[in-house]
C-alpha cells in the first residue's frame, strides 16, 4: 500500500458482490451465443464457481461466456461468466464473476414482483406428453414465481418428470400449467417431499396473472405486518 501511495496510486477498493449474486434455488435467464436464452436454476454458489441446472435443450462450449440476468431482493442484476464445463451429474459450472452490474430496482416492492414466500393450497396430477392425466390431488404450494413453484406432497416424484399444477389465483379461474420437476428435497419434520418445479410454457397473460397474484398477496402480507 505504501508503494502505491508513493507512486501516487490508490489501491482499488474491492466490492462485495455476494449480496448481488442470485439466491440459491432461484431461476435465472442465461444468455449464450448472442441469441440463445436458457432458463436454469442456481443450485450451488461456491467460493469460485456457480452451479446451475442443465437447460432443456442446447449445449454450451467450455471456455465460452454466458451472461446471467436475474432479480433478487436487492434488485435486478447482470454478470458475464466463463463456462467451466459440466459436472458428473450434467449440471453447468460457471466461474464466479469478478464484477456484477446493477440494473436498478430493489427493496420489498422489487421482491414482491419476483417471488411469493408464502403457502397456498393447490392441486396437482401426473402429465404425459404435455397433457395432464388422472384426478387432481391436493398439494401445498410455496415459493411462487413466474418461473415455477415449490410443490410439497407426500409422494416423491422424479427429476425431469412432467406434472400438471393447478394454482388458485385471487381473481379469475385457477392457473393450470404443465411443469417439470427440477429438484427434490425431503422435509425431515413432516416426511413429505418438496419439489422445485418450473412452468414449461406459460402464455403472456398467464405470466401477468401470476405476477399480479404475487404482488397482491405480498401487499396483503405487508399490510398485516407479515412480510
Pairing relation of β-strands 36-45 and 148-153? unpaired
Of 107, 94, 105, the C-alpha closest to 46 is 94
Q: Which residues contact 114 (CB under 8 A, 6 or more apart)?
A: 71, 72, 145, 146, 214
18-105: what CATH class? mainly beta
What does each of the 227 residues of the chain score in pLDDT, given as a tens digit? 455 455 454 444 456 888 889 888 777 888 887 777 787 888 899 989 999 988 877 778 889 999 998 888 778 899 999 999 998 888 899 999 999 998 875 544 443 346 677 788 999 999 988 899 999 999 999 888 878 899 999 999 998 899 999 999 876 789 999 999 988 989 888 899 999 998 887 887 888 888 888 878 877 877 777 65
pLDDT for the residue 227 = 56
CB contact burial 9-30 (16+ within 10 A = b; e otherwise): eeeeeeeeeeebbbeebbbbeb
For residue 129, the SS3 value is: coil
pTM of this structure:
0.56
In this structure, what are the phi and psi dihedrals at residue 109, rounded to the nearest 5 degrees? -65, -35
Closest CA to 70 of 109, 107, 34, 111: 111
pLDDT value for 113: 41
Q: Which fold has domain 112-223?
A: Thrombin, subunit H (2.40.10)
In the three-class reduction of DSSP (H, G, I as helix; E, B as strand; rest coil), residue 50 is classed as strand
- Predicted local distance difference test score (pLDDT) of residue 79: 95
CATH code 2.30.110.70 region(s) in the chain: 18-105
Which segments of the chain belong to CATH 2.40.10.220?
Answer: 112-223
Amino acid at each position: 500500500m505504501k508503494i502505491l501511495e508513493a507512486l501516487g496510486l490508490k489501491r482499488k477498493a474491492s466490492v462485495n458482490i455476494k449480496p448481488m449474486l442470485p439466491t440459491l434455488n432461484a431461476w435465472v435467464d442465461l444468455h449464450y451465443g448472442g441469441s440463445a436464452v436458457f432458463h436454469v436454476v442456481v443450485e450451488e454458489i461456491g467460493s469460485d464457481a456457480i452451479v446451475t441446472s442443465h437447460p432443456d435443450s442446447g449445449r454450451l462450449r467450455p471456455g465460452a461466456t454466458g451472461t446471467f440476468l436475474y432479480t433478487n431482493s436487492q434488485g435486478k442484476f447482470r454478470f458475464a461468466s466463463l463456462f467451466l464445463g459440466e459436472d458428473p451429474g450434467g449440471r453447468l459450472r460457471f466461474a464466479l464473476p469478478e464484477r456484477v452490474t446493477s440494473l436498478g430496482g430493489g427493496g420489498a416492492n422489487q421482491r414482491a414482483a419476483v417471488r411469493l414466500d408464502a403457502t397456498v393450497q393447490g392441486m396437482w396430477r401426473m402429465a404425459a406428453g404435455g397433457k395432464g392425466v388422472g384426478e387432481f390431488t391436493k398439494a401445498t404450494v410455496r415459493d411462487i414465481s413466474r418461473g415455477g413453484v415449490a410443490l410439497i406432497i407426500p409422494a416423491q416424484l422424479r427429476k425431469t418428470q412432467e406434472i400438471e399444477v393447478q394454482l388458485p389465483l385471487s381473481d379469475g379461474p385457477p392457473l393450470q400449467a404443465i411443469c417439470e420437476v427440477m429438484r427434490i428435497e425431503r422435509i425431515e419434520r413432516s416426511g413429505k417431499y418438496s419439489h422445485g418445479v418450473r412452468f414449461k410454457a406459460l402464455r403472456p397473460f398467464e405470466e401477468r396473472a401470476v405476477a399480479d397474484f404475487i404482488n397482491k398477496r405480498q401487499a396483503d402480507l405487508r399490510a398485516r405486518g407479515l412480510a
